[in-house]
Amino acid sequence: MSWDWRIYVLWMLLVGLIQAFKVESCIEEERLALLDLNSYFRSHGLSNPGRSWLGEREKDEYNCCAWERVHCNSTTQHVIELDLSALVESNQSPWVFNVTMLQPFGQLMSLDLSLNNIGGLVEKDSTLYI
């Protein structure tokens, strides 16, 4: 009987230590996809979605769940919401968005691309103009 409580206390300490040192980070494939999106937007003359999208290993900048305009599931750390609205300048001409760039975000539930003057969507080799 005397060992039961000691094992329990040891177990609780171990669980507490694991929780204390748990590193929360986004899914690496999704982080890389966000960096690709950033490059894609900049190549089309759009502004950077946020300073934190640089992807450097400083503070929370490596954890894309802490980036501006990105929201992740608190349990799975998958990106579930992207706010990519209003990235264009007022005089930006219409451009075509490649929706295949969103494929890595398998659990994405909300995407805001409003106010970006998107003139069409491209998926693989075909283009759909809106």
Query: Residue 82: helix, strand or coil by DSSP?
Result: strand
Q: Is residue 94 part of a domain?
A: yes
Residue 130: pLDDT band by 50, 70, 90 thresholds?
very low
- Give me the mean pLDDT over the 12-37 stretch: 77
Judge whether 89 and 37 are in contact, CB under 8 Å.
no
Domain assignment of residue 65, yes or no: yes
Residue 81's DSSP bridge partners are: 71, 110
Give 48-69 pLDDT, tens digit per residue. Answer: 777 667 655 455 567 899 899 9
Number of domains in the chain: 1
Write down the pLDDT at residue 129: 47
Q: Is residue 1 part of a domain?
A: no
| Strand, coil or helix: 50 | coil
Residue 50, domain extent: 24-129
Exposed / middle / buried, residue 26 (Cβ in 10 Å: 0-12, 13-18, 19+): buried
Can you give the pLDDT at residue 17? 62
Residue 84 lies in a domain: yes
Pull the structure tokens for residue 47.
């502004």
| Top-confidence residue, 121 or 40 | 40
